Amino acid sequence: MTEPVTSPDPRQPESWLEPGKLNVQLVYALYLLSFLIGISGLIGLVFAYLNRGKVGGWIDSHYTYAIRTFWIGLLYGLVSAVLSLAVIGVLLAVATVVWVVVRCIIGLQKATAGEAIAKPETWWV
């Protein structure tokens, strides 16, 4: 005899690795951790790419926002490195770090509240 198929227990918490609120929070945390452990940012990027489009709704806006945060932050970092031969590059590097941290904090706050990112494709915050 076969057992009836039952839906998952709604009280059971979701996994950190499955697409959803916890995974989005993990991506942002890995980005912030990348200032101490560089490879964690790449791991967060992989999670964001793997899970984007699987859930829909407000969570997809966070995955898009996180992916763009990584790539735009990398671009800003490379420009800062090139310009570090002049003093302005060091200032731009500090501004880039602040920009990434602010975007991650905004993302974490909105994900915790269950809200979508208003403009996930923006170059600003």
Say if 5 falls within a structural domain.
Answer: no
Q: Report residues of the chain scoring pLDDT below 70.
A: 1-13
The closest alpha carbon to 47, from 26, 68, 32, 62, belongs to 26
pLDDT at 13: 55
Q: How many residues does the chain have?
A: 125
Q: Is the pTM of this model over 0.85?
A: yes
The per-residue pLDDT for range 53-87, each reduced to its tens digit, is: 998 899 999 999 999 999 999 999 999 999 998 88
Residue % of the chain over a pLDDT of 90: 78
Q: How far apart are CA 50 and CA 44, in angstroms?
A: 10
Q: How far apart are CA 98 and CA 58, in angstroms?
A: 25
Lookup: tokens for 16? 């950190």
Total tally of structural domains belonging to the chain: 1
pLDDT at 2: 52
Q: What letter would DSSP give residue 4? A: P
pLDDT at 86: 86
Q: How far apart are CA 52 and CA 50, in angstroms?
A: 6
Say if 118 falls within a structural domain.
Answer: no
Q: Which domain holds residue 51?
A: 21-113
